[in-house]
Amino acid sequence: MKKLVNNAEDVTVEQLKGFGLAHDEIDVHFDPNYVCVAAPVQDRVAVVSGGGSGHEPLHGGYVGLGMLDAACPGQVFTSPTPDQMFEAGKAVHGGRGILQIVKNYTGDVMNFQMAADMLRDEGIEVRNIIIDDDVALKDSLYTAGRRGLGTTVIAEKVCGAASLEGYDLDRLAALCKKVNIHGKSMGMALTSCTTPQNGTPSFELPEDEMEIGIGIHGEPGILRDKIRSADEVTEILTDRILDDEAYTRNLSEWDPAKGDWTDVEVTDITLQKGDEVIAIVNGMGGTPLSELYTVYAKLADLTARRGIRIVRSLVGNYITSLEMAGVSITLVKTDEEILRLYDAPVKTPALRWGM
C-alpha cells in the first residue's frame, strides 16, 4: 500500500482537521465527528447527509450555502453511527425539522433511522429519504436493493436550494423522493481500491479486465469482462440506464400519522424521447478528466440519438471510491422545479456557482 497516510486508524480525523482549516465557512466537530455550516440555520428545514469516508467530495464537500447544512463521515467505507447524526442534527436544526438524505446501503439506512428516532425523542421532526438509483441491480425483493450513487449529489443540491426557498419538511421530502425516482446511475471500475485499514485491494482486477456495475465501496460488480474501448464502455452503461424499466420497490419511510417506520412502494420513471436530463460523468477518484470527457462525448451522442437532451452536466470527481479508476454515469430527468433549484446559487467546497 502506497498512500499519504500517517496512521491508518486516524485517516478520518486527520482529513477532517485539514478540511476545517481549509474552509472557513464550515465548522468541524470531533467525537462525534460531523461537519456543518458555521452560520446558524434559521427558520428553514436543515438538510443533512452522511456516509462512509472515501467518497470525497461526498458529503462534506457539499456542505455550504444552498446545499447541505451538515454531513456525517463514517470510517472509510463504513456508515457513520447515530450519535454523529444526532449531534449534527441538533447543531443545525433551525426550528423547521430535518431532512436526512440517505444512500441505500444497509448500514447507512439503519444508522440514519436510529438517529432519526433519537432526534424525534428530542422533539425534532425528521424525515429520511433514501436514494437508490443504481440500475446495475435489477431485483429488490431478494437483495438489499439498488445502491445510492450519483443522484445523491443532485438530490443534495436541489434540496439545499429548496430549503433556502422556504419549502417545509413535507414538501422537501416529496421533492427529494421525486429526484430519486427521476435519477438513474451505473458505474464501472478499471482498477480496485485499497482502504487504509485493510492495506490490500478489496478485489483483484487483472490488467486486461474491467468490473461492470460496481457500487462505491470497492465491492465487486455484477459482471467482469475484458476491457473495451471508452465508447463501448460508455454504451454499456448508457444503454442500461436508458433501457431501465420502471423499477418498483418498497422503501422504508417514517409515517408521522402512524408514528412508526413503514414500507412505501416507490416506482421509478423511465427515460423517454423528449426528456431533458442533468448528466454526471463521474470519476471514481483515479480517472483523468481527459478520459471522463471522452466518455461524455459518447454519452452526449447516445442520448441525442434517443431524443434525450442533456441540459446541464457535471464532469469530474463527485462521488468516488478512494483511488479507484473507473467511471459512473448518472442521468436525472429534470422538470421546471428540479432545474430551477439546480440552477440556484450554491457555495460549497466542491460545487459552486451563481455567487
Partner 1 sequence: MTETLTTAVTAPMVRAWIERSAKVLADNRAYLTELDAPIGDSDHGNNMDRGFKAALEKLPEGDDIGAMLKSVAMSLISKVGGAAGPLYGTMFLDGAKPLAGKTSLSADELAQFFDDAVAGVMKRGRSDVEMKTMLDALAPAARAFREEAAKGSDIRAALKAAAEAARQGMEATIPMQAQRGRASYLGERSIGHQDPGATSSHLILQAFSDVVEEAAQ
Ligand X SMILES: Nc1ncnc2c1ncn2[C@@H]1O[C@H](COP(=O)(O)OP(=O)(O)OP(=O)(O)O)[C@@H](O)[C@H]1O
Contacting positions for partner 1 (CB under 8 A): 32, 74-75, 77-83, 105-107, 110-111, 113-114, 137, 141-144, 147, 197-198, 202, 215, 217-220, 222, 252, 263
Give the whole-angstrom CA distance, residue 87 versus residue 262.
25
Closest distance of CB 215 from ligand X, Å: 10
Strand partners, 251: 264
What is the DSSP code (8-state) at residue 285?
B
Residue 264 site contact among partner 1, ligand X, none (CB < 5 to 8 Å, cut-off depends on kind) = none
Q: Which entry of partner 1, ligand X, none binds 83, CB below 5 to 8 A by partner kind?
A: partner 1
Nearest CB to ligand X, comparing residues 143 and 248: 143
Residues 96-155 that bind ligand X (CB under 6 A): 106-107
Enter the C-alpha cell of residue 185: 446511475
Query: For residues 284 and 191, what is the distance between their CA atoms, to the nearest angstrom?
Result: 10
Count of residues of this chain found to bind ligand X when the rule CB under 6 A is applied: 4
Which of these is catalytic: 55, 59, 93, 182? 55
Tell which positions 192-251 bind ligand X, by CB under 6 A.
Answer: none
Name the residue nearer to partner 1 (CB basis): 87 or 244.
87
CB of 308 to partner 1, least distance (A): 28
Rg for the chain, CA atoms, rounded: 19
Q: Which does 236 bind (CB under 5 to 8 A by kind): partner 1, ligand X, none?
A: none
Please give the C-alpha separations between residue 233 and each of 101, 151, 273, in angstroms, as whole numbers: 30, 20, 22
Among positions 64-93, residues that touch ligand X (CB under 6 A) are 78-79
Residue nearest to ligand X (CB): 107
The C-alpha atoms of residue 107 and residue 270 are separated, in whole angstroms, by 28
Distances 11 to 126, 186, 214, 235, 241 between C-alpha atoms, Å: 30, 28, 24, 37, 35
Closest approach of Cβ 78 to ligand X, in Å?
4
Q: Where does residue 318 fall: left (phi above 0), alpha (psi -120 to 50 degrees), or beta otherwise?
A: alpha
Asked if 99 and 69 touch (Cβ cutoff 8 Å), the reply is no
Active-site residue flag, 55: yes
Q: Which is nearer to ligand X, 52 or 150 (CB)?
A: 52
- CB of 329 closer than 8 Å to CB of 241: yes
In the chain, which ranges are continuous DSSP H helix?
Answer: 11-22, 82-92, 106-121, 151-165, 169-182, 230-242, 289-305, 336-343
DSSP string, 41-93: P-SS-EEEEEEEESSTTTTGGGBSBTSBSEEEEEEETSPPPHHHHHHHHHHH-
Give me the catalytic one of 23, 93, 182, 217: 217
CB 351 within 8 A of CB 59: no
Considering beta carbons, is residue 113 or 348 the nearer one to ligand X? 113
Q: Which does 220 bind (CB under 5 to 8 A by kind): partner 1, ligand X, none?
A: partner 1
Could you confirm whether 217 is annotated as catalytic?
A: yes
165 binds, among ligand X, partner 1, none (CB under 5 to 8 A by kind): none
Of 145 and 283, CB closest to ligand X: 145
Compute the least distance from the CB of residue 106 to ligand X, in Å.
Answer: 4
- Here the cell at position 213 is 456495475
Nearer CB in complex with partner 1: 44/240: 240
Residue whose CB is less far from partner 1, 201 or 316 = 201
CB of 219 to ligand X, least distance (A): 9
Asked if residue 318 lies in contact with residue 57, where contact means CB atoms within 8 angstroms, the answer is yes
Supply the minimum distance, in Å, between the C-beta of residue 77 and ligand X: 6
**At closest approach, how far in Å is the CB of 141 from partner 1?**
8
The set of catalytic residues is 55, 217
Summarize as ranges the residues that interact with ligand X (CB under 6 A). Answer: 78-79, 106-107
